Amino acid sequence: MTYHLPVLLVVVPLVAAPIAALLNRPRLSWAVAVAATLWALYAALELLSQTMAAGAIHYELGGWPAPYGIEYVVDPVNAWVVVIVALIGALVAPYARVSVEREITEDRIPLFYAAFILCLTGLLGIAVTGDVFNVFVFLEISSLSAYALIALGSDRRALTASFQYLIMGSVGATFIVIGIGLMYVMTGTLNMADLADRLPEVSGTRTIPVAFTFLTVGITLKLALFPLHLWLPNAYTYAPSAVTAFIASTATKVGVYLLLRFFFTIFGVTFSFDVMQLDRILMPLALIAIVTMSLVAIYQENVKRLLAYSSVAQIGYMVLGISFASVLGLTAGILHLFNHALMKGALFMSMGCVMYRVGSVRLERMNGLGRAMPWTMAAFVVGGLSLIGVPLTVGFISKWYLVQAALEQGMWPVAGVVLLGSLLALMYVWKVVEVAYFREADPELGISEAPLSLLVPTWVLVLGNLYFGINASDSVGIATRAAEVLLGAL
């Protein structure tokens, strides 16, 4: 079984999804979802430890050798992404039961879990596959299920949000498939390793830069890099709480992974950064994202929306790290994939707790929640401190490496913007803290603490924020390995 692990990681959830739909009982479907996510987490951790110990794992689907069949390749880069996706999935699934019962009508709950497992399948598939067309297929699986999940939100605006995402997401996917098609025309292969071999011969043509451009736009749209982020705030705001927590911590991360895979492994650093000068696009956009989106976040009255804009800013940090194209910069970016998943997961889950008890996450409804829901709001505070980058939280570790990467290249102003972003984060986090702790609650509402099944997954992530902020040697070690793999693949 160990040998088949790469494919079982994807196949087990893929089979579990229709089962969840067919069982058609909320509880049973939920149990299937939990089982599927736990399996994925086990497989992901196993793959990570294998690849860290013994290098890249190659798996031929159906026994067909690479150029003919589809190959799955697991190296430290995607094993890391798979672990992030599976971990968040395994925490959101148990969390979802209570939260979903409150926010989605009962007859749709089995479909919800089916879509949830499919989305997980798609995200895992994108990460493990070594075939670019397969990437597109899984991208569509994850996107379509995500559109459905978002549309299940209880607010009617969820429908328009989902539609908006559908249009933008389809445009992005189309751009990606055009880019893949152009590469296929020039090289005759869809396998990533073969592409990396053959592209240098034809990189002088006009077609390859065009393919590169299409892919850049398509992928940055998927990962919501400013200014292609417009689908994100509405989608995060109106989706069911569990969906927001899941998608915010995973979908954009997988987008960032695609960026890394295409531009470092397939096109290579020399072509992407020396010839196409990708950093000249990515770095300014990342910096603008960090500053403007944090500023926009400060003015939000809906906390989920506030966190959504904060996510766009945080994606700026990841892309910024990548745009340095150095080991230190990539380490920072890859590290922040994980760290940001921990903090945003915790923050969105705590907002799910608020949604469950209060029925809204608008600031004016959160008066005095610090007293009424102490554990929920404490989770928000710790997650927020991590977002700001206070020492002994994961956010600090990300900043530590990101600033170092900037200083290493003598870019003082960039280091300044990174730290400025922290201060803007302080402003939007504190806005919520003040409402929760300094205003009197309306005692007639009788709000009590969220149930344990919501609090426990939330606090697992909160403690993760602290643990990986105090003992970051493992996560930094993996991120550094991943960065070296990506840069070594010249």
Partner 1 sequence: MIDTNLVVGICLLLPVLGAFLVLILGSRPNVRETATLLTGGLTFWHVWGLLHHLREGARPRLELLEIVPGVQLAFEVEPLGLLFALVASFLWIVTTLYAIGYMRGHHEKNQTRFFFFFAIAIAGAMGVAFSANLFTLFAFYEILTLCTFPLVTHHQTDEARKAGRVYLGILLTTSVAFQLLAIIWTWQLADTVDFTEGGILAGTASNGVLSAILVLFVFGVGKAAVMPFHRWLPAAMVAPTPVSALLHAVAVVKAGVFTVLKVAVYVFGIDLLGTLAATTWLAWVAAATIILASLVAFQKDNLKARLAYSTISQLSYIVLGALLANEWGVIGGGMHIAMHAFGKITLFFAAGAVLVVAHEKDISRMHGLGRTMPITFGAFFVGSLSIIGLPPAGGSWSKWFLGMGTLEAGQVGLLAVLMLSSLLSLYYLLEVPVKAFFFRPPDDAHHGKGIKEAPLPSLIAIGITASATVGFFFWPDLWHELMTMVVSGVGQ
Nearest distance from C-beta of residue 307 to partner 1, angstroms: 20
Answer for the pair 372, 364: CB distance below 8 angstroms, yes or no: no
Answer for the pair 326, 409: CB distance below 8 angstroms, yes or no: yes
Q: Which of 200, 438, 442, 456 binds partner 1 (CB under 8 A)?
A: 438
Q: Which is nearer to partner 1, 18 or 413 (CB)?
A: 413
Distance CA 44, CA 128 (A): 10
314 binds partner 1 (CB under 8 A): no
Identify which range of 24-32, 90-98, 454-462, 464-472 contacts partner 1 by CB under 8 A. 464-472
Could you tell me the end-to-end alpha-carbon distance of the chain, in angstroms, rounded to an integer? Answer: 33
Identify which range of 54-62, 119-127, 343-351, 471-479 contacts partner 1 by CB under 8 A. 471-479
Report CA Rg, the chain: 21
Identify which range of 2-10, 200-208, 243-251, 408-416 contacts partner 1 by CB under 8 A. 408-416
Nearest distance from C-beta of residue 85 to partner 1, angstroms: 24
419 binds partner 1 (CB under 8 A): yes
Q: Which is nearer to partner 1, 212 or 324 (CB)?
A: 324
| Token pair belonging to 473 | 């040697």
Identify which range of 22-30, 67-75, 359-367, 398-406 contacts partner 1 by CB under 8 A. 398-406
Q: Which of 70, 211, 296, 403 binds partner 1 (CB under 8 A)?
A: 403
Using DSSP's 3-state secondary structure scheme, residue 188 falls into coil
Interior CA angle at 291 toward 286 and 292, to 5°?
A: 100
399 binds partner 1 (CB under 8 A): yes
Identify which range of 187-195, 311-319, 344-352, 434-442 contacts partner 1 by CB under 8 A. 434-442
484 binds partner 1 (CB under 8 A): no
Nearest distance from C-beta of residue 38 to partner 1, angstroms: 30
Using DSSP's 3-state secondary structure scheme, residue 72 falls into strand
392 binds partner 1 (CB under 8 A): yes
Q: What is the largest CA-CA distance in the chain?
A: 72
Peptide bond connecting 227 to the previous residue in cis, omega within 30 degrees of 0:
yes
Angle formed by the axes of helices 192-202 and 157-187, to 10°?
A: 60
Provide φ and ψ at 188, rounded to 5°. 75, 20
DSSP letter (8 states) at residue 2: -
| Token pair belonging to 255 | 């987008």
**What letter represents residue 126's amino acid?**
I
Angle formed by the axes of helices 452-470 and 76-103, to 10°?
A: 150
68 binds partner 1 (CB under 8 A): no
Q: Which of 129, 125, 205, 219 is nearest to 171 (CA)?
A: 219
What sections of 24-131 are H helices per DSSP? 26-54, 76-103, 109-128
Using DSSP's 3-state secondary structure scheme, residue 361 falls into coil
Q: List 59's β-bridge partners, or say none.
A: 72
Q: Which is nearer to partner 1, 133 or 400 (CB)?
A: 400
404 binds partner 1 (CB under 8 A): yes
Distance CA 78, CA 337 (A): 11
462 binds partner 1 (CB under 8 A): no
Q: Which of 162, 203, 216, 422 binds partner 1 (CB under 8 A)?
A: 422
Q: Which is nearer to partner 1, 180 or 387 (CB)?
A: 387
Helix-, strand-, coil-residue percentages of the chain, each rounded to 5? 80, 5, 15
Nearest distance from C-beta of residue 164 to partner 1, angstroms: 35
477 binds partner 1 (CB under 8 A): yes
Identify which range of 167-175, 220-228, 246-254, 394-402 contacts partner 1 by CB under 8 A. 394-402
Q: Which is nearer to partner 1, 261 or 399 (CB)?
A: 399
89 binds partner 1 (CB under 8 A): no
407 binds partner 1 (CB under 8 A): yes
Identify which range of 146-154, 204-212, 401-409, 446-454 contacts partner 1 by CB under 8 A. 401-409
Q: Which of 39, 375, 400, 467 binds partner 1 (CB under 8 A)?
A: 400
Distance CA 468, CA 164 (A): 36
152 binds partner 1 (CB under 8 A): no
Q: Which of 182, 283, 303, 385 binds partner 1 (CB under 8 A)?
A: 385
Nearest distance from C-beta of residue 279 to partner 1, angstroms: 21
Identify which range of 91-99, 170-178, 186-194, 426-434 contacts partner 1 by CB under 8 A. 426-434
> To which H or E segment does residue 59 belong?
strand 57-60
Q: Which of 35, 281, 288, 390 binds partner 1 (CB under 8 A)?
A: 390
184 binds partner 1 (CB under 8 A): no
Question: Taking phi first (over 0 means left), then psi (-120 to 50 degrees means alpha), and beta for anything else, what does residue 326 get?
Answer: beta
> To which H or E segment does residue 455 belong?
helix 452-470
CA 268 to each of CA 84, 190, 262, 385, 490: distance values in angstroms, whole numbers, following the listed order: 25, 16, 8, 37, 5
Nearest distance from C-beta of residue 413 to partner 1, angstroms: 12
Q: Which of 18, 69, 416, 488 binds partner 1 (CB under 8 A)?
A: 416
Which residues make up the interface to partner 1 (CB under 8 A)? 385, 388-392, 397, 399-401, 403-404, 407-408, 415-416, 419-420, 422-423, 426, 430, 434, 437-438, 469-473, 476-477
